[in-house]
Chain A
Amino acid sequence: MIILVASLILFLVGLYAIITKRNMIKVAVGFSLIEYSVNFLFAIVGFRPGALPPILQAVEVGKVYSDPLPQALVLTAIVIGLGVTAFMLSLILRLYNRIGSFDLEEIQRLKG
């Protein structure tokens, strides 16, 4: 339960950064925080207290095994997160080259 709350707090910290920060790099950092909070939650989901590693050598009835699937999911999510972060940073870099600023207020051109 504490872990659940901790990952939700991390999610909200990331969301706070995205909503309030004017510096685009800080927005990208906010996204990394959100991604890691979700990955963290996913990794915890597979945990069982006192469980054995999920490698079956013989059929043992009544033993608790931890769930290996969330780790595979987290790996996929990390790779997607890498793609998102890399693309976001390259967009920020192109914007910086055009405008010479990381400030979201200064790049604002579109409205209506």
Chain B
Amino acid sequence: MEIFPVLLIAIPLGGAFLIPILYKAWNRLAEIVAGLCLAAVLALSIYLAFFLVPGKPLVYLFGNWPVPLGIAFTVDRLSSFMLLVVSILVFFSYIFAIRYMDHFTGSGKFYTLYLLMLVGMNGVVMTGDLFNMFVFIEIASISSYALVAFGTEAEELEAGFKYMVMGEIASMMILLAIAFIYAATSTLNLADISRSFAAMDKTPGFWFVLILLMSGFSIKAALVPFHSWLPDAHPSAPAPISALLSGVFIKVLGVYAMARILFNVYGVSRASYPAVFNALLILGLASIIIASLLALYQKDYKRLLAYSSISQIGYIVLALGIGNEFALIGALAHILSHSLGKGLLFLTSGSVVYRVGERDITKFTGGLGKQMPWTSLSYNLGALSVAGMPPFLGFFSKLFIILGAVKAGFIVPAVVAGLFAVVTLGYLLKITNKVFWGKEGIKGIKESPFVMVFAMVSLVVLLVAGGAFFFWLKPHLLQPAADVLLKGTEYAEIVFRIGAGG
């Protein structure tokens, strides 16, 4: 089990290395190698997510250097939870992509970038070293820029360029903050930085570095003042990539990194530094309100879903800003439910584009539900879950966020969160109304190929099962992950206890 963190990087990285060599021999070899790698990653992540002992993280020391000296991977229950979220959606998007990518050339390049993006996300989640985290952020980001521009039409290249400009500004802010942190503490290990910060005077420079980091991660997470790139970038990518970018990418690079640094490295809590948490609360509320209202006016299938992603990220950040136990469990549950739900919705958009070749919903005459029943069913159930209707997983995640807000005495955010769940349902039903319901359909359209339907229906089943077994998932998956955040700087002590021996 000690070797698992390395395998989670090495398997997809090895696959990404092999595919460009092998796919020249036989095109399908790219898919086979990628599929084997992703299945292995999924199996390892499921094992880690359920069988890792809470409070006893895996610490893998590279080169056997003890903790503050070398690079260490530290996989605790929060990391393993994020690994599970990432690998589930990556696996089902891959199954969808097998047929969807028929429309594109260069499947070898696609799967290479796909696996590299997975390497980057897994690395960000597992690493216990700040500079190493930056390197993995860049691996994931550069592959995602390439995947957004994968179609190489003018619009896709433009979206890729815009995304790259914003993403690189964010990365450079993060790197600048890392340089300042290294200058102040002479260490890069997250646990060691946490110890140094605890002993340090809280000067204005200390908070300036935090603001630099928060701005960088907010751009990566597309919170509202920093969101302008997302509605261009996510719809321009091929559908499985849109699903991944909206489903897990912004959560891993934005929300997870932000939460890890705030709670475990800076060790702030709502009681000690309310200003930091109020800032998150305001960013979250602004994202929910503004992005939901903008989503109501969208005419493009995928662009509407992209605005919806911004508003759902707002819910997660709002919950982090509330910062009590209920809200954090809600935030983690929402990471899971939104990654499955929004991933599913983007896959249905891919299914519609695959058969109809059109994304502008004003050009649809409705009635697609009769010809594509599985896609229609998946879209509607996914929309209900993203909006937060019972009995799906999305209901429980929003319920816990709202309960947390009420418990902490934030009545206005609780009301806004409840109210905008209805707005979410409103704009998502707009697509149902224009595309899937109604009598006349477009002639000669039939249901998408079996593997695409299989990927979508599997995600629906997971959403329903997540809702049905939520009270089993809560103690076994969500509570241990939330505990990591709630314990704050105890993270450093645990990592030193396990990793300092060598």
Contacts and interface: CB of A to CB of B under 8 A. Distances in A.
Interface stretch (B179-187, B336-344, B366-374): B179-187
Contacts of B157: 91, 94-95, 98
Interface stretch (B160-168, B253-261, B273-281, B346-354): B160-168
B215 to A, nearest CB: 12
Nearest to B300: A112
Interface in B131-167: 131, 135, 138, 142, 145-146, 149, 152-155, 157-162, 164-165
A95 B135 contact: no
Nearest to B294: A112
B176 A110 contact: no
Contacts of A80: 135, 138
A76 B232 contact: no
B298 interface: yes
A23 B135 CA distance: 29
A11 B179 CA distance: 13
B169 A99 contact: no
B231 interface: yes
B142 A84 contact: yes
Interface string B221-244: 000000000011000100000000
B398 interface: no
Contacts of B183: 41, 45
A109 B179 contact: no
Interface in A77-112: 77, 80, 83-84, 87-88, 91-92, 94-95, 98-99, 107-110, 112
A95 B154 contact: yes
Interface in A51-93: 67, 69-70, 73, 76-77, 80, 83-84, 87-88, 91-92
B172 interface: yes
A109 B138 contact: no
B175 A38 contact: yes
Interface residues of A, number: 34
B182 A92 contact: no
Contacts of A67: 186
A80 B299 CA distance: 38
Contact of B182 (A15, A70, A87, A108): A70
Contact of B146 (A34, A87, A109): A87
B251 interface: no
A87 B164 contact: yes
A107 B175 contact: no
Contact of A109 (B158, B165, B182): B158
Given A84-B168, A87-B142, A110 B175 contact: no
25 contacts: A15-B169, A18-B169, A24-B161, A27-B165, A35-B172, A38-B172, A41-B179, A69-B188, A73-B131, A73-B182, A80-B135, A80-B138, A87-B146, A91-B164, A92-B161, A94-B152, A95-B157, A95-B158, A99-B154, A107-B154, A109-B154, A110-B236, A112-B298, A112-B300, A112-B303
